[in-house]
Amino acid sequence: MLGMTLGLSMSVLSTAALSAEKVNIGAPSWTGAQAIAALLKAVVEERIGGEANLVPGNNATIFQG
């Protein structure tokens, strides 16, 4: 499941890198996923120059869209 989350997150980052738009990153309640989401947010904002929001929720909500 973590691999799927990372894969989806990286595809979102790739799109964000090309367009430098606002990105929403899903942040499930478990600690590992929150750490990864925070890291992705930092990369988008500090390295790519885009905007990122962390969206809390469970996997069903996040993967729904």
- pLDDT of 24 reads 92
| Residue carrying the six token digits 């996040």 | 62
**For the whole model, what pTM was predicted?**
0.63
pLDDT at 5 over 60: no
Give 9-52 pLDDT, tens digit per residue: 555 555 545 556 899 999 998 899 999 999 999 999 999 999 99
DSSP 8-state class, residue 45: I
Helix (H, G, I), strand (E, B) or coil at 11: helix
Task: Provide the residue range defining the domain that includes 55.
Answer: 2-64
Tokens of 63: 């993967």
Give the count of domains, the chain.
1
Confirm if 62 and 33 have CB atoms less than 8 A apart: no
The set of residues, in sequence order, having a beta carbon less than 8 Å from that of 21 and lying 6+ positions away, is 50, 51
